[in-house]
């Protein structure tokens, strides 16, 4: 299933809110809209993100099963994918360890502090501005919580 422009715009709006909340607006974003689902039966991907920390680029892939979810769940899925950016440093360390590469304790601690600071700053950024907090909360509250029917798409 090919998403409509209206669906794409909604997801990009969710992306804007997510990037604002998580302080990721300095990252470039590229979208891939898949027409076939990926994954095994019962475990199909709804969306994925590829993170390039060096060049601050994100590639977000959205799969057809995503469009069967409620707007509220779609926002949660997109927000979840953007949260991966904050944990990417630790993920890379684990991958290096699994590949038998040497990783220092200092490197692990630096990445841990970096990720903690990102979460801290994003929450403080949101909570320090009541107007921004209300705007974000209002956007999320207005999201539909009922499933779409095939005819609605």
Which pLDDT value is given to residue 123? 86
Residue 114: in which H helix or E strand, if any?
A: helix 105-127
Mean pLDDT of the chain: 90
Confidence of residue 149 (pLDDT cuts 50, 70, 90): low
Q: Where are the beta strands (DSSP E) in 56-123?
A: 57-62
Using an 8 Å Cβ cutoff, are 144 and 72 in contact?
A: yes
Which pLDDT value is given to residue 36? 86
**Which distant-in-sequence residues (6+ apart) come within 8 Å of 58 by Cβ?**
24, 27, 28, 29, 30, 49, 50, 51, 52, 82, 85
> pLDDT by residue (tens digit) across 121-135?
988 888 889 998 899
């Amino acid at each position: 299933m090919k998403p409509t422009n209206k669906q794409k715009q909604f997801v990009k709006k969710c992306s804007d809110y997510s990037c604002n909340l998580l302080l990721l607006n300095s990252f470039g974003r590229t979208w891939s809209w898949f027409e076939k689902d990926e994954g095994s039966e019962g475990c199909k991907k709804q969306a994925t993100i590829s993170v390039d920390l060096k060049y601050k680029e994100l590639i977000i892939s959205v799969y057809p099963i995503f469009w069967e979810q409620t707007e509220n769940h779609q926002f949660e899925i997109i927000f979840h994918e953007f949260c991966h950016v904050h944990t990417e440093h630790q993920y890379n360390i684990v991958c290096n360890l699994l590949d038998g590469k040497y990783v220092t304790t200092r490197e692990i601690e630096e990445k841990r502090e970096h990720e903690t600071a990102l979460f801290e700053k994003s929450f403080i950024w949101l909570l320090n501005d009541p107007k921004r907090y209300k705007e974000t909360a209002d956007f999320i509250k207005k999201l539909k919580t009922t499933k779409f029917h095939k005819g609605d798409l």
